[in-house]
Amino acid sequence: MLLSLKNFILKKTVLFPLIGVVIVVVAAIGLQNGNGKNQVAIKRGNIVQMVAATGKVKPNQSVNLGFDRSGRIASVSTFVGEIVGSGKTLATLESGGVAADLDKAQAALKEEEIKLREIQNTSPVTYGDAVKNLEAAIKEGFGDADNAVRNKADQFFKNIPDNPQFEISITSGGFIHYFNVPNDTKIELNNLRKKIEETLINWQKRTLSLNSANLVEEANQAMQDLNTISAFLDKVAGATNTFSPADYAYETTVSNYKTAISVARSDVSGAISALVTAKDKFNSVGTLGESGQFEDVLVQESKVNQARASVNSYAASLDKSIIKAPFDGVVTLQEAKVGGAVSAGETLISIISQDNMYVEANISEINIGKIAVGNPAQITFDAFPREEFAGEVAYIEPGDVIIDGIVNYKIRINLKTPDPKIKSGLTANIKVETFKKENVLTVPLYAVIKEEDKDFVSKIFGQKSQKISVTLGVSGNDGLVEVLNGLDEGDLVEF
């Protein structure tokens, strides 16, 4: 009995391992067909080509800072690892003398500015008022002249403006009575009226471009035009004053004619007077310089500018004794010590930005032609081996760099989603997607039989296989190749 039990146990001990072997053998045979070869189905997928590289994380901005002049450090207000904002003072040099000079220059500037305001405000008429008054006189002079000619004098003309004809008549009871005017007077008045039309048109255009630079010149031209129009109105008045209404039954009409031309002459005379007054007030403020401003104003403005330049000079000198953060970032180097002597240009503090980190990598000349700006990239970091980050090629440097005797080109890859845990200097493993073809028939390259320049596969037909020719397209980095012709989706091939 004991012997039988022992034999049973021995048999079981041998049997169980054998069962395991049988299971493994059966499983292996299940991956093969009847002749011991493996099979794979033709299916649709994506063909992807990639270029792999290793790079480093770089900050979007980095800078080494120092003083622009030598001296002794007065203060330090930062430390390594501190997050600083743009414009924060990080260190200063002793600069008491420069600061005192700046205060003096600022006080001198204020004094010169006060003097300038006094000059502008204590003149009989301020510069601004003088300009406005003279401008108004020129424009109002045109308005008076235009009204005097076109509304009052033109009632004695016809065919205006192309061919002015001086003619005064009165219509009564179906009869037209023409006043007797000598022909030479008519001809003279006709020519003058045509000339006056051109004068008014040009004057109106000039009023649209008045400024301090041409104001005096325009005032003089306006005075000349007013005198020309005044002389014209005088001649029109002379012609109308020869009428004797007592000889006719039209005394009221003739009187109205004479009154109209008299008012016109009076308006122009008033415009001349107003323009003379405006010019006198303008000239009383001071002498006008080439720039259109008064000389005393220009002289004082020059003094103000000199004082301001002095302030800017001392301020620039003081800036050279201050180190400020040029952008938001973190301090990575701080070697400034209070009381220490430093030289101009010596690096004391370094800052890098924390936002928008990017990856920089070197790509050999063999692969650089495959990469273009905008290519997507997959990025992993040695520091975070189980995470993958998406990126995009943002820049390709045009110049080459030689590494171990091989021509390379630097590329910049921006992270699509910035992550604060990604630090400057981290090693990055990059795969740049250079080509992708989606939803195409694919077959593993190991299932392809190459004979000379042709490609074949062993296609399964029922229980048998037959070598057939196939046409292949592009291949991907994952070992798949595109099938252009010879196979359909779902076909089985053996290898």
Domain annotation covers residue 232: yes
Q: Are residues 361 and 328 in the same domain?
A: no
Q: Which two tokens stand for residue 177?
A: 């009575």
Whole-number pLDDT of residue 172: 60
Domain annotation covers residue 264: yes
* Alpha carbon distance 95, 233 (integer Å): 76
Q: Which of 352, 374, 392 is the last residue of a domain?
A: 352
Query: pLDDT tens digits, residue range 41-80?
Result: 999 999 999 999 999 999 988 899 999 888 899 899 999 9
Q: Which of 268, 285, 302 is the last residue of a domain?
A: 285
Query: CA-based angle 154:239:188, to the nearest 5?
Result: 75
DSSP SS3 for 400: strand
Query: pLDDT tens digits, residue range 324-366?
Result: 999 998 999 999 999 999 998 899 999 998 878 899 999 999 9
Model confidence at 4: pLDDT above 60: no
Q: Are residues 130 and 277 in the same domain?
A: yes
Band (478; pLDDT cuts 50, 70, 90):
confident
Domain annotation covers residue 151: yes
| Of 134-148, 166-180, 413-427, minimum mean pLDDT range | 166-180
Q: Are residues 20 and 158 in the same domain?
A: no
Quote the distance between the C-alpha of residue 9 and its chain's center: 90
Q: Are residues 328 and 436 in the same domain?
A: no
Q: Are residues 279 and 150 in the same domain?
A: yes
Q: Are residues 437 and 360 in the same domain?
A: yes
Whole-number pLDDT of residue 193: 92
**Domain count along the chain:** 4
* Alpha carbon distance 20, 411 (integer Å): 55
167-179 burial, b if ≥16 CB within 10 A, otherwise e? Answer: ebeeeeeeeeeeb
Q: What is the mean pLDDT of residues 116-141?
A: 78
Query: pLDDT tens digits, residue range 284-294?
Result: 665 554 444 56
Q: Are residues 73 and 14 in the same domain?
A: no
CATH code for position 466: 2.40.30.170
Query: pLDDT tens digits, residue range 202-247?
Result: 999 999 988 878 888 999 999 999 999 999 999 998 888 776 654 4
Sorted by sequence, the CB contacts under 8 Å of residue 453 that are 6+ apart come out as: none
309-331 burial, b if ≥16 CB within 10 A, otherwise e? Answer: ebbeebeebbebbbbebebbbbb
* Alpha carbon distance 428, 361 (integer Å): 9
Whole-number pLDDT of residue 121: 66
Domain annotation covers residue 247: yes
349-352 and 329-334 strand pairing: antiparallel
According to DSSP, residue 89 is labeled E
DSSP result, 405-426:
TEEEEEEEEEESS--TT--TT-
Domain annotation covers residue 22: yes
Strands (DSSP E) contained in 6-42 are 39-41
Q: Are residues 201 and 275 in the same domain?
A: yes
Q: Are residues 6 and 152 in the same domain?
A: no
- 0.75 exceeded by the pTM? no
CATH code for position 134: 1.20.120
CATH code for position 73: 2.40.50.100
Q: Are residues 179 and 215 in the same domain?
A: yes
Domain annotation covers residue 440: yes
Domain annotation covers residue 297: no
Query: CA-based angle 425:426:428, to the nearest 5?
Result: 125
Q: What is the mean pLDDT of residues 259-265?
A: 89
Band (300; pLDDT cuts 50, 70, 90):
confident
Whole-number pLDDT of residue 294: 60
The region, left, alpha or beta by phi > 0 then psi within -120 to 50, assigned to residue 486 is: left
The residue type found at 423 is K
Domain annotation covers residue 103: no
CB burial of residue 335 (10 Å; 0-12, 13-18, 19+): middle
Q: Are residues 368 and 468 in the same domain?
A: yes
Q: For all residues of the chain together, what is the average pLDDT?
A: 84
Per the structure, the complete domain to which residue 430 belongs is given by 48-56+355-494
Q: Are residues 327 and 465 in the same domain?
A: no
Task: Write the secondary structure of 298-310 as one string of H (helix), E (strand) and C (coil).
Answer: HHHHHHHHHHHHH
